[in-house]
Amino acid sequence: MGLTGLEIFKQLPKTNTGDCGFPTCLAFAMALAAGKTSLDKCPHVSEEAKEALGAAAAPPIKLVKVGTGDHAVEMGDETELFRHDKRFYHPTALAVLIEDTEDVAARVAAFDELEFDRVGLHFVTDMVALQCTSGDGAKFKAAAEAVAAGTQKPFVLICEDVAAMETAATAVADKKPLLYAATNDNYEAMTELAKKLECPLAVKGNGLADLADLVEKITKLGYKELVLDSGNRETSQVLADLTQIRRSAVRKRFRPFGYPAMAFTTKDDPMEEVVQAGVYLSKYAGMIVLKASKKEEILPLVSWRQNLFTDPQKPIQVEAKAVAVGDVTPDSPVYITTNFSLTYYIVEGEVEGSKVPAWIVPVNTDGISVLTAWAAGKLTGDSINKALKENDMESKVNHKTLVLPGYVAVLSGSTEEETGWKVIVGPREAAGIGKFAKDNFGK
């Protein structure tokens, strides 16, 4: 439970019956707080207390899943307003909008091909959002089936007409699409449908106050697999709404907003859309529906998403294994760097750009950068020697010269001593590698 022992104790009968197996209610409360027992061990706790403790123990923002299998998307279960306070957990899902009046099969095929590799990571868009532009249930159903057939990835069905939604959703319910949306006008029937089909349900209000009321009505009907839409669309207002939803949930435990939030881009120009989506991605959207779908448009968004959702406490590392960049020969230079992902990939990019094939040996510094590793005593003549030996560099090149990052020129002497190799001091900034390679190794 997230509560302290004392907070729990306040809800207990304080009769010290011992029926729970603990000598006093306080002892039981402490054990509960530590997760060492469960509330149901106490036969005397009141219904109110049960609800209060249950609500407080639940995560501030519900985890909601869309889709099934390996590609299912999880949203919610966030606890922070700022990544620097701890981290963000569930990367914002990006849903590409397709209208049922388009060539759905072709659009889905193109969507499914949107995959990117950069810096050793693999990026994808996560979902399709299929909109019932036609207003025709049969057409919507056919389109939904085409989406389900064309991709393993989860999707959203966008239609506020319950009849049309029922026709389409029933046909693809096994894929657990997000049903968008329950509104003031249709929420009873839409909630029944979502319950019946066991699909998550989007809730669209007219502003935050109305949204809160609507969510309460829906949870009273017994459904909680919800995703929130304030109904506003203007950039500045959506920023405010997303901020309020996150704050209310995380800081005030305001239950009606304890669900992931979604946002829609409104721009026709794809570049403007990407910029607008960038705002929502940075600030609390669990999902964004957008039209832009070209590679050059999506790549920056998925990259920022990856950056934003990294754990600030844990730097990403690459394997401390020597890498050959280009067509190396036994004469090729050897660059020393660290296995901090960012450092490694920047150096690799520059070595590649220098057009002088070379080896890069990333020394294992527990994933920290050159200067920090040197300050922490993790980048030393000794650790460099270890890296050279572990990678058997002596058999890979016929020389014994290595390039040391310029910022740790001070390690030259000890590195030469430990390794028996000659040290050339390289540039301080990776950006200098191009010129450095040309001057030292150019043909």
Partner 1 sequence: MAFNAVKEKYRSKVGEVTLGATKEQGGTRGYTITVGGEGALPFLHFEGEIPNRPVVALEVWDHAPADWNACFDSYFGDVYNDAAAWAKKCVEEYGADLIVLRLKGADPDINDASPEDCAKVVKDVLAAVECPLVVLGCGKEEKDNQVLPVVAEETSGENLLIGVAEQENYKSLTAACMVHKHNIIAQSPIDINICKQLNILITEMNLPDDRIVIDPTIAALGYGLEYGYSIMERARNGALQGDKMLGLPMIGNVGFEVWRTKEANASVEDFPAWGEQEPRGILWEATTATALLQAGMDIVVMRHPKAASLIKQNIEELMVANEV
Q: x/- string (CB under 8 A) for partner 1, residues 387-416?
A: ------------------------------
Total residues contacting partner 1 by CB under 8 A comes to 60
Q: What do you get for the CA distance between the two ends of the chain, in Å?
A: 66
Segment interacting with partner 1, rule: CB under 8 A, options 2-10, 103-111, 173-181, 244-252: 244-252
Binding of partner 1 by 335 (CB under 8 A): no
237 is an interface residue for partner 1 by CB under 8 A:
yes
List, as residue ranges, the binding site for [4Fe-4S] cluster: 20, 25, 42
Identify whether the C-beta of residue 221 lies closer than 8 Å to the C-beta of residue 190.
Answer: no
With residue 253 as reference, give the H or E element that holds it. none
Nearer to partner 1, 187 or 284 (CB): 284
Pick out the residues of the known binding site.
20, 25, 42, 337, 343, 367-370, 430
Among 304, 317, 418, 425, binds partner 1 (CB under 8 A): 304
Q: Which of residues 31-60 bind partner 1 (CB under 8 A)?
A: none
Interacting residue with partner 1 among 181, 239, 261, 263 (CB under 8 A): 239
Output the smallest distance, CB 376 to partner 1, in A.
15
385: left (phi over 0), alpha (psi -120 to 50) or beta: alpha
Q: Could you give the maximum distance between any two Cα atoms of the chain, in Å?
A: 88
Residues 6+ positions from 242 with CB-CB distance below 8 Å: 230, 261, 263, 280, 283, 284, 285
How many CA atoms are closer than 13 Å to the CA of 264, on its beta-carbon side? 18
- Is 301 near partner 1 (CB under 8 A)? yes
Contact (Cβ atoms closer than 8 angstroms) between residue 55 and residue 73: no
> What torsion do the CA atoms of 413, 418, 420, 422 make, to the nearest 10 degrees?
-30
Residue with tokens 């027992």: 37
Please report, in range form, the residues annotated as the binding site for 5-methoxybenzimidazolylcob(I)amide: 337, 343, 367-370, 430
Report the site for partner 1 in 110-169 (rule: CB under 8 A): 115-119
Determine, following the binding rule CB under 8 A, whether residue 109 of this chain makes contact with partner 1. no
Is the distance from CB of 381 to CB of 374 less than 8 angstroms?
no
Give min distance, CB of 324 to partner 1, in A. Answer: 18
Query: What does residue 269 show for φ and ψ, rounded to 5 degrees?
Result: -75, 125
Residue 358's SS3 state is strand
Check: CB of residue 154 under 8 Å from CB of residue 199. Answer: no
3-state SS, residue 39: helix
Binding string, residues 253-282; x marks residues near partner 1 by CB under 8 A:
-xxxx-------------xx-xxx-xx--x
Cβ closest to partner 1, residue 194 vs residue 274: 274
- Look up tokens 């020393």; give the residue: 336
Q: Which residues are CB-contacts of 184 (< 8 A; sequence separation ≥ 6)?
A: 205, 206, 210, 214
Residue at token pair 């829609």: 264
Instruction: By CB under 8 A, name the one of 79, 134, 244, 317 that touches partner 1.
Output: 244
197-236 footprint of partner 1 as x/- string (CB under 8 A): -----------xx-xxx--x-----------------xxx
Which residues sit at the interface with partner 1, rule CB under 8 A?
Answer: 82-84, 115-119, 208-209, 211-213, 216, 234-237, 239-241, 243-244, 247-248, 251-252, 254-257, 271-272, 274-276, 278-279, 282-283, 294-297, 299-301, 303-304, 307-308, 310, 312, 342, 345-346, 349, 352-353, 431
